[in-house]
Amino acid sequence: MIDSNTYSERRNCFLEKLTGTAAVIPAASLVPHHADCDYPFRQNSDFWYLTGLDEPDAVALFLPHRPLGEQFILFVLPKEPGAEVWNGFRWGVEGAVERFGADIAHPLGEFQSKLGDYLKGAEGIAFRIGKHPKIEPIVLQVWTEQLDQAQRNGYSSKFLVPPCPLIHQLRILKQPQELERMRETAQISAEAHELARQHTRPGMNERQVQAIIEQYFLEKGARGPAYGSIVAGGDNACVLHYTSNNAPLLDGDLLLIDAGCSLVDYYNGDITRTFPINGRFTGEQKALYEVVLEAQQSAIDSVVPGQNAESVHLTAVRVLVEGLLDLGLLKGSVDSLIAQGAYRHLYMHRTGHWLGLDVHDVGAYRLGEYPVELESGMVLTVEPGIYVSDRLPVPIGQPEIADRWKGIGIRIEDDVVVSGGTPEILTAGAVKSVEELQR
Ligand code: GLY
Ligand code: MN
Ligand code: MN
């Protein structure tokens, strides 16, 4: 697990980046599911990254304009037996200081009355507008009062800025302890995929395979799935965000599983594997699978410092287009097909995303005109695919697709760490060669 020194180091880095700006970082709130029932609590990842406190409605202040010992303030739900008997343990004000390293802590009910004093002397306020409906009116009211009184007091914060770019510059580079957690989540996720494949047989329902995977996540101590598991037999695999997972698995079809677990400290795995339900690829399935696998391998090989997410994507696209040309599913020159996007009825998504506390993790892909270069310690997914169905029209000038290809949806996704040398594939425990997937 991430230790308290690491949280403290993160806060110090954030405080340094803030220079004279005070940051207000709220925790997540519970979200109603229906009637009196809430969704399971999911902490805001920025708040979690800086505090490690897994309770709703808290607020953290970061005050670089104050002396040492008054720079990290937590407002938390107070200890309250009547509430804890219904909803469970709270750390309370004392726990916020002793366990979570706050310099000073207060009950949440004092946030409105104390915020003005804490913000006094800050050059600006770092707060994300539009995301925190309970906290935003209080921050705006306190700033408005400061502005109204500035003529007499001689100061007020001069600007409101989003804190996210500063926190996300930190989060995009994983610390050694974070990489350990990501190895763990990737390993459990990979083992779940292996188990699911070994138990898959024609006649089962997608939902039964989902159960095998998610049971394994829980058995291994994970919080559960990192996102809605996709268990998609046959043509269902051509629906990118298919999550209904309620169809029978047919002899002769492929099964695409996109699933990963979230650990109790929110580090996420994100793996896709596609394999034949009956253990034997058909000729068309194997031909397309080999194209996707080659595209993925080439793209993974390009995950090195100095490359960027766009160049990794283009590496995959080039191999996919070459393979589809060879199979007669596209026609023309590779360069013009890529320039015109004339392959997008068969491959319509990007090849990956940053991965961390969020599955689609934070961090810029571009800064203005410039793509963000890959650096050691970044983690991204590499997930090319081919999806052959009638859902999108064939572009003018491209070949109509014979029925024998239709209903084949393939994606192969691994989680990859940028390292100084060869990229580290965190999810290598889930096999993917044609030979290993057949039985
Ligand atoms: N499972 C979501 C994704 O692969 O991006
Ligand atoms: Mn995925
Ligand atoms: Mn992904």
Q: How far is the CA of 271 from the centre of ligand 2 (A)?
A: 5
pLDDT category of residue 150 using cuts at 50, 70 and 90? confident
Q: What integer pLDDT is reported at residue 413 of this predicted model?
A: 99
Q: Is the pTM higher than 0.85? A: yes
Per-residue model confidence as pLDDT tens digits over 13-39: 999 999 999 999 999 999 999 999 999
pLDDT category of residue 152 using cuts at 50, 70 and 90? confident
The residues that are catalytic are: 36, 241, 258, 270, 349, 353, 360, 383, 387, 411, 413
With residues binned 3-state (H G I as helix, E B as strand, rest as coil), the percentages for the chain, rounded to 5, are 40, 20, 45
Probe target for ligand 1 pocket from 210, 353, 382, with the most ligand atoms within 8 Å of CB: 353
Q: Is residue 252 within 8 Å of 286, Cβ to Cβ?
A: no
Q: Name which CATH class applies to 4-169.
A: alpha beta
Query: Which atom of ligand 1 has the smallest separation from the CA of 383?
Result: 4
When computed from its CA atoms, the radius of gyration of the chain, rounded to whole angstroms, is 25
Probe target for ligand 1 pocket from 185, 359, 410, 427, with the most ligand atoms within 8 Å of CB: 359
Per-residue model confidence as pLDDT tens digits over 103-120: 999 999 999 999 999 999
Query: Does residue 349 line the site of ligand 1, with CB under 6 A?
Result: no
Q: What integer pLDDT is reported at residue 375 of this predicted model?
A: 97
Beta bridge partners of 354: 380
Q: How far is the CA of 416 from the centre of ligand 2 (A)?
A: 13
Q: What integer pLDDT is reported at residue 243 of this predicted model?
A: 97
Mean pLDDT over 255-280 rounds to 98
How far apart are alpha carbons 258 and 254 in whole angstroms? 13
Query: Does residue 383 line the site of ligand 1, with CB under 6 A?
Result: yes
Mean pLDDT over 373-395 rounds to 98
Query: Does residue 41 line the site of ligand 1, with CB under 6 A?
Result: no
Is domain 173-437 given the CATH code 3.40.190.10 in the classification? no
Q: What integer pLDDT is reported at residue 153 of this predicted model?
A: 79
Q: How far is the CA of 289 from the centre of ligand 1 (A)?
A: 19
DSSP letter for each residue of 323-392: HHHHTTSS-S-HHHHHHHTTTTTT--S-S--B-SSSSS--S-SEETTEEPBP-TT-EEEE--EEEESSSS
Give the long-range contacts of residues 43-49, CB within 8 A, separation 24 or more: 43/266, 45/171, 45/266, 45/356, 45/357, 45/358, 45/362, 46/163, 46/164, 46/167, 46/171, 46/362, 48/265, 48/266, 48/357, 49/10, 49/167, 49/170, 49/171, 49/357
In this structure, which ligand is nearest to the CA of 228?
Answer: 1
Sign of the Cα torsion 373, 374, 379, 382 reads positive
Closest by CA position to 106, among listed 71, 143, 63, 60: 60
The more confidently predicted of residues 320 and 149 is 320
Query: Which atom of ligand 1 has the smallest separation from the CA of 259?
Result: 1
Query: Which atom of ligand 1 has the smallest separation from the CA of 230?
Result: 1
In the 8-state DSSP scheme, what is residue 109? G
Q: What integer pLDDT is reported at residue 158 of this predicted model?
A: 92
Q: Say yes or no to pLDDT of 363 above 90.
A: yes
- Neighbouring CB atoms inside 10 A of 361's CB total 21
Which residue has a Cα nearest atom 4 of ligand 1?
A: 270
Task: Express as a percent the part of the chain with pLDDT over 90.
Answer: 97
Q: Say yes or no to pLDDT of 421 above 90.
A: no
Residues counted in the chain: 439
Give the tokens for residue 421: 């040398």
Q: What integer pLDDT is reported at residue 84 of this predicted model?
A: 98
Q: How far is the CA of 230 from the centre of ligand 1 (A)?
A: 9
In angstroms, the Cα distances linking 74 to 97, 170, 288, 415 are 8, 21, 54, 34
pLDDT category of residue 198 using cuts at 50, 70 and 90? very high
Burial label for 318, CB within 10 Å (0-12, 13-18, 19+), is: middle
| Residue ranges covered by each domain of the chain | 4-169, 173-437
Per-residue model confidence as pLDDT tens digits over 278-318: 999 999 999 999 999 999 999 999 999 999 999 999 999 99
Query: Does residue 358 line the site of ligand 1, with CB under 6 A?
Result: no
Q: How far is the CA of 223 from the centre of ligand 1 (A)?
A: 18
Give the contacts of 390 (CB within 8 A, at least 6 positions apart): 406
Which residue has a Cα nearest atom 3 of ligand 1?
A: 270
Per-residue model confidence as pLDDT tens digits over 205-261: 999 999 999 999 999 999 999 999 999 999 999 999 999 999 999 999 999 999 999
Say whether 143 sits in a helix, a strand or coil.
helix
Query: Does residue 258 line the site of ligand 1, with CB under 6 A?
Result: yes
Give the tokens for residue 20: 């004279």
How far apart are alpha carbons 240 and 413 in whole angstroms? 13
Q: What integer pLDDT is reported at residue 151 of this predicted model?
A: 84
Query: Does residue 270 line the site of ligand 1, with CB under 6 A?
Result: yes
- Neighbouring CB atoms inside 10 A of 146's CB total 19
Q: Say yes or no to pLDDT of 154 above 80.
A: no
Q: What is the mean pLDDT of the chain?
A: 97
Per-residue model confidence as pLDDT tens digits over 424-438: 999 999 999 999 999
Per-residue model confidence as pLDDT tens digits over 67-91: 999 999 999 999 999 999 999 999 9
Query: Does residue 227 line the site of ligand 1, with CB under 6 A?
Result: yes
